[in-house]
Structure 1
Amino acid sequence: MASTVVAAGLTAAAAGFAGRYALQAMKYMEPQVKQVFQSLLKSAFSGGYYRGGFEPKMTKREAALKLGMSPTTNKGKIRDVHRQIMLFNHPDKGGPPDIVAKSNEAKDLLGGQAKK
């Protein structure tokens, strides 16, 4: 019985020292941890989102942003990207019709001006 009490005491002491060490280490690591979390949040939520509304008449820049490519991309690449967008967002599969309409408009605008 005495050995059980001693083992429990040593375990509690070891847990206390480990906790104290962890708290002290976190105090020094806090700035680095905050910086990593901020960079992760920026990279996770900033890519791919275009902040701005639609213009009355779609421009080449807006069409390129909508399809996620360069305004000078060739017709084959435009067709492939548009096809992928349609596969994921088709209204028959529950996709939003406004995305499909704008994607079609972007494909027509860029596809008519691109090289074969």
Structure 2
Amino acid sequence: MASSAIVAGLGLAAVGFAGRMILRSAPTVTTKFNEILKQFPMDSESLLGSRYYKGGFDAKMSKREASLILGISPTANKIRIKEAHKRIMLANHPDRGGSPYLAAKINEAKDFMDNLK
């Protein structure tokens, strides 16, 4: 019985020592991993094929910005504007956990595009 306790203790010591060595080598593993990541392109276009607009909002709404927010062409008709607004508001409405600021910008974009037509 005493010999099995000694073997178990030596086994735990070996596991502890191995874990300590792994943790000590972790910073070098992290730097190597970061070097590997630097070789890959990190923009959203290449990784996800995303079509989302990169950048913040302009101080004053423009036709270009309104069409980017709604995801339509700048020459879209009123029906297309209404459909795009409805689709985007369903996903971003504050009552469903969306941002009130984004909902306001979406509404502003719809109003801007409606006033142009």
Q: TM-score, structure 1 length as denominator?
A: 0.58
Residue 106 of structure 2 is matched in structure 1 by: 103
**Amino-acid identity (%):** 53
Structure 2 alignment gaps of length 5 or more: 1-39
1:75 to 78, 82, 92: 78
Distance in 1, matches of 2:68 and 2:116, equals 16
Residue 54 of structure 1 is matched in structure 2 by: 57
Distance in 2, matches of 1:42 and 1:50, equals 10
Structure 1's 107 and 42: CA in aligned 2 closer, same or farther, altered over 3 A?
Answer: closer
User: SS of the counterpart of 1:50?
Assistant: coil
| Residue 45 (structure 1) shift | 2.6
Number of residue-to-residue matches in the alignment:
76
Once superposed, which parts of structure 1, at least 4 consecutive aligned residues long, lie more than 3 Å away? 41-44
Distance in 2, matches of 1:77 and 1:100, equals 18
The CA RMSD over aligned residues, in Å, is: 2.0
| Structure with greater contact order relative to length (CA < 8 Å, sep ≥ 6) | 1
Q: TM-score, structure 2 length as denominator?
A: 0.58
1:89 and 2:110 equivalent?
A: no
| Residue 44 (structure 1) shift | 5.0
Distance in 2, matches of 1:77 and 1:62, equals 16
